[in-house]
Chain A
Amino acid sequence: MLKRLRESKSMQGTFLALPTTLWMFVLLIIPLILTLIVSFGKRSPDGNVIYTFSFDNYARLIGISHTCADGSATCFDPLYINILWRSLTLAFNTTVVVILMAYPLSYFIARAKPAQRNIYLFMVLIPLWTNFVIRVYAWMMLLRKEGAINIIIGWVASLLHLPFTPLEMLYTPGAVLVGMVYEFLPFMILPIYTSLEKIDGSLYEAAADLGANAVRTFLRVTLPLSMPGVVAGTILVFVPVMGTFVVSDLLGGKQVILVGNLIQRQFLDARDPAFGSAASLILMVMTLIVTYFYTRKFGFGEEIVAA
């Protein structure tokens, strides 16, 4: 047995992959199958699941409602479609803002002296040492009506003798966007930095030598060669933003309900696991579709993963 293991590369591979495979099977595949089964079920009056095979939950999600104001049997209710759409646009906006913020910073770090690069990267990573939820709470302190930002603006306004009413920043879509950008920025900086840092300096010189000025060198050489980093970062940001509920819960309140919040409430408040399971699967399918088309166009950024 041992001898065979020593000689067979494929057996070694199986052995090495075994723990993770088991883990994924028990904690991902089986739960997914259970979720799928539950999603076809119905809520029982006491908040349990009645196992049936009905598409009612999915119908509800795409807007087919049976509790209509005008008394008819079915009507269109865009409530959940709106939530899904809001999640998608927020994830998109977050990703775009994060790219626009992360790219220049990554570029700056990648072109700094090697000794300084590590310091900068360290600074990027420091916030991750604090718990995710606590960091979101910190933003609440900053954004609320009596928060730090309003105090400072108020103080400046009073110095300039300008009238000032505190800004309503908390519990707005903007607050959720700010929170999301803040939380996920490092996950974009690191892959972009890695891909920029890998670009051989002589390529910039070659471009200059062949007649390209700084702008054209950036557009024709730097940007295309750093795209793997942007792609990897996009996946690392877009996918979790689609699913998180903590940021929108704390910074958006009841104003900004995302699909993550919807799912959370089905399980904890509304006690409708069947509907929650259907929403989870819809979220997963939506994320997969977006990532599928995205990666088909740009690749997985596997060059980064391989680095």
Chain B
Amino acid sequence: MSSEFAVELRDVVKKFITPEGNELSAVDHVTMQIKNGEFFSMLGSSGCGKTTSLRMIAGFEWPTEGEVFIEGQPMGHIPPFQRKVNTVFQSYALFQHMTVAQNIGFGLEMEGVEKSEIKKRVGRALEMVQLTGMERRQPKQLSGGQQQRVAVARALVKTPSVLLLDEPLGALDLKLRKEMQLELKALQQQLGITFIYVTHDQEEALTMSDRIAVMSKGKVQQLATPVEIYERPTNKFVADFIGESNFLEGVIKEISKDEATVYVPVLNAELKGMPMSPDFVNGEEVAVSMRPEKIRIVEREADGDTLFKAKVLNSVYIGSDTHVYVDMQGARLKVMEQNRISRLDPSSFYSKEQMITLLFMPENTLILKKG
């Protein structure tokens, strides 16, 4: 391998002309370095540029500006069939007029591999995706999950250096999705191939990925490990998009090293010892972000320091958790509490208008730029 990166996007821009004749930057100056053997996800809602980025790596689209590198080689206008990457399509794109074995063998046949060798490798690929014995079936005779596996086998049989997956589990039901997530992850670890995975499902990205690029409006919002993305989002978009967040307005009152004291008007209190990145200044207006599951409901008196009074607006039982919506002097927050104890008595749940006390741990909150 001539590069430590399997794939690199250097300042890539992709512009499209919309039917109305406007110019649209689907991908807007994106730079990403994807390491060899990494499970890398591009996560974002539709139109964020994740699929376009993937298609530029595959060679179905060419960048308007910038360059895509695969194993250190600039790709320029090299067509898809000359790139060492293979794609698993969202729709699977199986050839309905061919058997499973012919589908999987297609890529090898194009390479001019000998028939007996094709047969052997197709057999191995089927074994890998646990479809042994399905060689002679037609794709339409298979279930969605099985078709998905055929699509993966068809791409992997070519032993690409990078496998591109475009929302491959989108058409499957939830249970099968979760199974396939773990299976794909296991397959990736077993093969050691770089996977680049496009999804709009954050849980999927968090479950499978080594690193995630959260994308929005054609830009990378944050590129980090799942834990960092969730626990240390670098902006309000990521904090809101990944998981859920409550945002309170605040003003920085005091900075000491990497901690800050923030005055939060709705609480009429100063929150002390909040972790902070170095690019904030004293007096700056900021957003204070708190994850619903990190706010605790306690049976203590409010002290205006870390304990605050709140009024229950609504309480929703969803099985594993209870979601409690509260009002704190006009600010609406969502609090999640795990149902650790089995109980049926409805009076033990929170009722409307009930006053409760919330515990804010400074280390569980984040200071983010206001924008």
Contacts and interface: CB of A to CB of B under 8 A. Distances in A.
Contact of B96 (A210, A212, A220, A225): A225
A48 interface: no
B128 to A, nearest CB: 17
Contacts of B107: 210-211
Contact of B87 (A203, A209, A216, A225): A209
Interface stretch (B78-86, B215-223, B236-244, B267-275): B78-86
B95 A208 contact: no
Contacts of B155: 209-210
Interface in A203-217: 203, 205-213, 216
A208 B155 CA distance: 12
B328 interface: no
B91 A202 contact: yes
B79 A200 contact: no
- Closest 7 pairs between A and B when the two form their complex, measured CB to CB: A210-B107, A211-B110, A206-B93, A202-B93, A208-B80, A211-B81, A224-B97
B87 A206 contact: yes
B309 interface: no
Interface of B: 58-60, 79-81, 85-87, 89-91, 93-97, 106-107, 110-111, 154-155, 158
Interface string A188-229: 000000000000101101111111110010001100110000
Contacts of B96: 225
B110 A210 contact: yes
B247 to A, nearest CB: 40
Nearest to B89: A202
Interface string A221-254: 1001100000000000000000000000000000
Nearest to B79: A208
Nearest to B110: A211
A207 B106 contact: yes
B158 A206 contact: no
Max chain B Cβ within 10 angstroms of own Cβ: one of A206, A207, A213, A221: A206
A206 B89 contact: yes
Contacts of A213: 79, 81
29 contacts: A202-B89, A202-B91, A202-B93, A203-B95, A205-B58, A205-B60, A206-B89, A206-B94, A207-B95, A208-B79, A208-B80, A209-B59, A209-B60, A209-B80, A209-B81, A209-B86, A209-B87, A210-B86, A210-B107, A210-B155, A210-B158, A211-B81, A211-B107, A211-B111, A212-B106, A213-B79, A224-B97, A225-B96, A225-B97
B80 A220 contact: no
A210 B106 contact: yes
A221 B95 CA distance: 7
A35 to B, nearest CB: 41
Nearest to A213: B81
A220 B87 contact: no
Interface of A: 200, 202-203, 205-213, 216, 220-221, 224-225
Nearest to A211: B110
- Which among B58, B95, B111 has the highest number of chain A CB atoms within 10 Å? B95
Contact of B81 (A203, A210, A221): A210
Contacts of A203: 93, 95
Given A209-B60, A209-B87, 20 more contacts: A200-B91, A202-B89, A202-B90, A203-B95, A205-B60, A205-B87, A207-B106, A208-B60, A208-B79, A209-B58, A209-B59, A209-B81, A209-B86, A209-B155, A210-B110, A210-B155, A211-B81, A211-B107, A216-B110, A220-B106
Contacts of A205: 58, 60, 80, 87, 89, 93
A216 to B, nearest CB: 7
Contacts of B93: 200, 202-203, 205-206
A210 B153 CA distance: 12
Contacts of B87: 205-206, 209
A220 B81 CA distance: 15
Contacts of A202: 89-91, 93
Contacts of A216: 110
Nearest to B90: A202
Of residues A208, A209, A216, which shows the largest number of chain B Cβ atoms within 10 Å of its Cβ? A209
A202 B92 CA distance: 8
Nearest to A199: B96
B16 to A, nearest CB: 14
Interface centre among B58, B81, B91 (most CB of A within 10 A): B81
Contacts of B106: 207, 210, 212, 220
Contacts of B79: 208, 213
A214 to B, nearest CB: 9
